[in-house]
Structures are given as structure tokens and as C-alpha cells.
Amino acid sequence: MENPTGQRDGEAPSPSSTVTNYPVRKRVKTSIVGLDEMLSGGLFEGAITLVRGAPGAGKTTLGMQFLYSGITDEDERGLLVSFEEFPFSLHRDALSFGWDLRKLAKEEKLRLIFTSPRIFLSSLQSPASPLNHTIQEWDVRRVVLDSISHFTRMTRNPIELREIYNNVINSLKREGITTILTSEDSGTSLLTEERGRLSFVVDNIILMRYVEIDSTMQRAILVLKTRGSDHAKEIRRFELQEGGIVVGTRFEGREALLSGSPRSMGPRP
């Protein structure tokens, strides 16, 4: 006699009867040394990733590197929307890492837009806007919004803010665009209380922090969540250098690293 799974009584389940065959989801590589490994191979295509970090931590650099490598390594066009820096200043900063964004913009592989959150949101919601035209005509696959923190100034109402976040995220998800949202965060706790609860809406969260060790400031990176996938749990060092971000080894022998007062882990009594 067959049970509801189509398996006969007393028969061992065959692998095909017990394992659902989910379609394999494509991973989009950040091409940042060490980070793809922390993300179990990269970000899922179409996922929304929040990169939270202190001022100067490297958030914009991470976003630019994601777009630059998408174009040069994967031939995926990109769009960087900045709410804080003019394109000339982004071009200048990118050049210091060795990335000629102006050339990519001329080749219509990358677009840099400097705008306000309000204009961006209304352009995103109007199908005939130049923004949507670029997204469709260019087949933009990667977007960076720098920084999403500017949306908090659009309203004092947390429910309205959450709706704004949902509108932005759903519009980008609908197009299957892999997106990085940067966000300002200078707190010391891992999960800061935020208006609009953005951390709950996004698929992935990456934290970039400074840690003080032996009187020097070092840069630390941590993957806090990845929906639908495993990720590295340790806090790792990273450097900013010519060529961009390079993620190194974990901090050995330290605890409470992100608390603002890390301690050496001496031998236990």
C-alpha cells in the first residue's frame, strides 16, 4: 500500500522522494577577496544586502567594488545612486583604488546618479522615468544605494518609513536586481534599534566596524545574516588598499570585539 508520499509501506524512502528539488539559486560574486567565502560563495541574485558601518568604514568602497567587479568580471551593468556624493567625487575616490568609473560610464556600463531620496523614490515608482528607462534599456543587474539612512529624513513616522523601505526594496526585487544598501551605524551593539526596522526587511546584513587593538584602529567585517544560506560567523580583519577591500583572517584571542572595548582572551584559570 502506498502512503501519501507515494512510498510503499516498509520501503526505505528514495532520495528523490524525500528531497524537494529546489531550483539552484545563482550566486552573484562581490569579487571582494575573502568576502565571497564568508557569504558561502556570494550574494543570491536579486537579494537585498544592507551594509552597515561607521563613518569612513568603507561602505561606499564596498559598493563601488561590487559594481566595478560586476562590470569587469561578469559583464553585469551597474547603477550607483548616491544621496551624499557628487559623481566627480565618487570618480576621484574610485581612482584612488584603481577603478576608472568614468570610462565605464562612457561605455554605458555604469551609471552614477546624485539625487534626493524623494526624487529617487518617485522616479522608481513611475515606469516612464529616466531611471526606469536606464534600468530596463541597460538591463542593470546591480544597484547600490548610498546611503539608505537618508530615507529616515523623509518622515518621522516609523510605519511610513517602513512602507518607503518596502517600496524601494520591492521595486528592485521585481527587476531581480542584486542590491546593496549602505547605512550609517556608529553604535556598538550588533543589532541597533532602528526606525523602520530595515534589518528585518533586507535579505543579508554585513557590518563594517573599527576595533581598537593595542592602540591601533583596525577594520573589522562581519556577516550578520544571509537569508536562505549559511555564512561565516567570525569577525574578520579587512584592509582598504589599491584594488579595494581585502578581507583577511579572524581576530584570534580577542573577545567583545564589537563592544568598543575588546579584551584579550588569556589562559583560563
Span 219-238, contacts to Mg ion by CB under 5 A: none
Output the nine-digit C-alpha cell for 225.
545574516
Cα–Cα nearest to 117, from 196, 199, 175, 223: 196
C-beta of 44 vs 99, nearer to ligand ATP? 99
Name the minimum Å distance from CB 67 to ligand ATP.
Answer: 13
Distance, in Å, from the CA atom of 145 to the CA atom of 50, rounded to the nearest integer, reads: 10
Name the minimum Å distance from CB 56 to Mg ion.
Answer: 8
C-beta of 103 vs 227, nearer to ligand ATP? 103
The entry of ligand ATP, Mg ion, none near residue 61 (CB within 5 to 8 angstroms by kind) is: ligand ATP
C-beta of 135 vs 205, nearer to ligand ATP? 205
C-beta of 144 vs 232, nearer to Mg ion? 144
CB 242 within 8 A of CB 223: no
Output the nine-digit C-alpha cell for 23.
531550483
C-beta of 46 vs 58, nearer to ligand ATP? 58
Q: Which residues make Cβ contacts (< 8 Å) with residue 126, sequence separation at least 6? A: 132
Residues making contact with ligand ATP (CB under 6 A)? 53, 55-61, 96-97, 240-242
Residue choice 30, 49, 60, 69 for contact with Mg ion (CB under 5 A): 60
Name the minimum Å distance from CB 131 to ligand ATP.
Answer: 22
The entry of ligand ATP, Mg ion, none near residue 201 (CB within 5 to 8 angstroms by kind) is: none
**Helix 117-125 vs helix 158-174: crossing angle, to nearest 10:** 50
- Label residue 113 exposed, middle or buried (CB < 10 Å: 0-12, 13-18, 19+): middle
Name the minimum Å distance from CB 243 to ligand ATP.
Answer: 9
Q: Which residues make Cβ contacts (< 8 Å) with residue 150, sequence separation at least 6? A: 83, 84, 116, 117
